Amino acid sequence: MRPSEVQFAPGLAGLPRDHSALLLAEQELRDDLREAGVPVEERRTVAANTKGWHTDLVLSLGGPAAVAGAVKIFQVWLGRDRRRSLTVVRADRPDGSTEVTIHGEAVSDETIRAVLANALQPAPEPPQAPEPPQTPEVRQPPELAGAPDEETPGRQ
Residues in the chain: 156
| pLDDT tens column, 27-84 | 999 999 989 888 888 887 776 676 777 777 888 877 788 888 889 999 999 998 889 9
Are the C-beta atoms of residues 89 and 8 closer than 8 Å to each other? yes
Mean residue pLDDT of the chain comes to: 78
The model's confidence at residue 2, banded by pLDDT at 50, 70 and 90, is very low
How does residue 1 score in pLDDT terms, banded at 50, 70 and 90? very low
- The CATH number corresponding to 4-120 among 3.30.160, 3.30.70, 1.10.3470, 3.30.200 equals 3.30.70
**Res 102 pLDDT > 80:** yes
Which phi and psi (to 5°) does residue 120 adopt?
A: -90, -5
**Average pLDDT of span 108-127:** 79
- Region 81-105 average pLDDT: 78
3-state secondary structure of 6: strand
8 CB burial (10 A radius; 0-12, 13-18, 19+): buried
Burial code (b: 16+ CB inside 10 Å, e: under 16) for 119-138 equals bbeeeeeeeeeeeeeeeeee
pLDDT confidence of residue 139: 73
Q: What is the DSSP string of 114-149?
A: HHHHHHHSPPPPPPPPPPPPPPPPP---GGGTTSPP
